[in-house]
Structure 1
């Protein structure tokens, strides 16, 4: 069986993209990782839909999405809590939902958090690019953000798997706590910079996006004002641009950068960052010792 049209986009919302677990192992080619910002939520949606964990799904941003099922489908919505409706009737969030052919599926505006994930049994079967179906907003790789009238192919239904009764996920944060492992350019900053960074109040800036979580707050003081040669960047790197406000790199981050990195946030903390709305308080906690392996 080959992928066929499964969904027609009626309302794309402010920003809805196709995402899976991203492009791994290609940063040396200058290609960002991309992929779902809230990876545990993507995995949970796929589990509920009966898919493999890395199947491509839809990532919405704040305002949801509206779609018409072009054939009978099973879907699940996780991530930011949002109202789900099928032909105007309330449907379950965080559980499998059977949708008949022709029905309109609506994921409403998020009541908390930022990004919801809609997985459909069989996965969104757009063509892969460098091993991933993810949209990368920085490089332009992968499918473009959804537009009204788009038709999305859906793969064949996966083998039957009993749906789990519960897929626990943390609630979107009222306050964001990010661990920070110092380096590699911590020596470019004032000796007390890390202490102040851990004690000063920050908040999520409105300019945050899939590339980075940007912050507002007291500037981090540098000890060196000279130029830094461009060097490789990793997921979770915390750059400090000229305004002094820390920037936490997320999935669509560039692979190189020229601002000093004061530390790195472990991958396990970034799902919460993906769900933090503008204005959410941010606190950095400096940690040292055993390396965090993330999730």
Structure 2
């Protein structure tokens, strides 16, 4: 498969690097794990097969051999050689045929999987691109060639699944963090409306809204960090750690988004409103 065009960032991703936080390497992996996993299941792929994570569409690829593909996540207009196809369908690409992803009407990240997975040399056990540490393959560019792995043992059981749909204002479950008492009013997290800031990325989702006031406890030593942790930096504006988060952090964690809800947060665009509730 040859990349003919890209729009937003397009990264190779998989299930991530497990068990390396002790040596300073985060897990990384797909930002929306449920959509990534669905794309692979539709094709009968092994769990953890490498796929592509596409931000706001714009990707165009050309098949150099016959292959089966699926697109999940943020619903985009899928064009197969001039024919419109639905997100969530299992599609055959013949040699020379092109697949184009339009801009999603909602959501942020779409996933393109191929039967057999993309064959990419792993780095520390994973083909994922970690944008913080720059581990893994570089972001895709026009002209890149992608090898496809051998057919897996799994079968393709369905032709299509319904496209994803997203609530206009997601309400994410959050549990109190270990340093909730390091701000004067941690409950402001669930009372306030927040918007995704333009500076957000795979490292963390920055939230625009009322600033938290520190409780005056001084400096906090660095502690272990995890996906979904809500840190409060000195400016008082929350940051929710994403898949490429650092393995330690030195700012107070006042809450942690329930792990299952971090996939929904990964689909929030800059400017989208999000809210929280205590789990």
Q: Structure 2 CA distance, aligned partners of 1:30 and 1:128?
A: 18
**Aligned-residue CA RMSD in angstroms?**
1.5
Q: Structure 2 CA distance, aligned partners of 1:199 and 1:160?
A: 46
**SS of equivalent to 1:270:** helix
Cα offset, 1:63, TM superposition: 2.8
1:159 and 2:183 aligned: no
- Seen in structure 2, the aligned counterparts of structure 1 residues 223 and 147 have a Cα distance that, compared at 3 Å, is same
- Seen in structure 2, the aligned counterparts of structure 1 residues 170 and 86 have a Cα distance that, compared at 3 Å, is closer
Q: Which segments of structure 1 move beyond 4 Å, counting only runs of 4 or more?
A: 165-170
Equivalent residue, structure 1, for 2:227: 235
Equivalent residue, structure 2, for 1:78: 72
Q: Structure 1 CA distance, aligned partners of 2:43 and 2:74?
A: 17
Q: Normalized against structure 1, the TM-score is what?
A: 0.91
**Alignment counterpart, residue 86 of structure 2, candidates 75, 92, 109:** 92
Equivalent residue, structure 2, for 1:48: 42
Deviation by residue 1:138-170 (Cα, 9 ceiling, x = unmatched): 001110000111111110122351323554675
Q: Structure 1 CA distance, aligned partners of 2:114 and 2:231?
A: 36
1:261 and 2:253 aligned: yes
1:122 and 2:107 aligned: no
Q: Structure 1 CA distance, aligned partners of 2:46 and 2:221?
A: 41
Q: Normalized against structure 2, the TM-score is what?
A: 0.96
**Alignment counterpart, residue 8 of structure 2, candidates 11, 14, 17:** 14
Q: Structure 2 CA distance, aligned partners of 1:21 and 1:45?
A: 13
- Seen in structure 2, the aligned counterparts of structure 1 residues 195 and 280 have a Cα distance that, compared at 3 Å, is same
**Alignment counterpart, residue 97 of structure 2, candidates 103, 113, 122:** 103
Q: Structure 2 CA distance, aligned partners of 1:171 and 1:112?
A: 8
1:284 and 2:276 aligned: yes
Equivalent residue, structure 1, for 2:183: 189
Q: Structure 2 CA distance, aligned partners of 1:267 and 1:285?
A: 14
Consecutive unaligned residues of structure 2, counting only runs of 5 or more, are none
**SS of equivalent to 1:117:** strand
**Alignment counterpart, residue 141 of structure 1, candidates 135, 141, 144:** 135
Q: Structure 2 CA distance, aligned partners of 1:53 and 1:13?
A: 27
Consecutive unaligned residues of structure 1, counting only runs of 5 or more, are 1-6, 288-295
**SS of equivalent to 1:194:** coil
Equivalent residue, structure 1, for 2:206: 214
CA contact 2:75–2:164 (8 Å) conserved in 1: no
CA contact 2:180–2:255 (8 Å) conserved in 1: yes
CA contact 1:9–1:66 (8 Å) conserved in 2: yes
Cα offset, 1:269, TM superposition: 0.4
CA contact 1:173–1:275 (8 Å) conserved in 2: no
- Seen in structure 2, the aligned counterparts of structure 1 residues 200 and 92 have a Cα distance that, compared at 3 Å, is closer
Equivalent residue, structure 2, for 1:3: none
Equivalent residue, structure 1, for 2:32: 38
Q: How many residues align?
A: 279
Q: Structure 2 CA distance, aligned partners of 1:29 and 1:211?
A: 18
Q: Structure 1 CA distance, aligned partners of 2:236 and 2:43?
A: 43
CA contact 2:43–2:156 (8 Å) conserved in 1: no
CA contact 1:41–1:169 (8 Å) conserved in 2: no
**SS of equivalent to 1:284:** strand
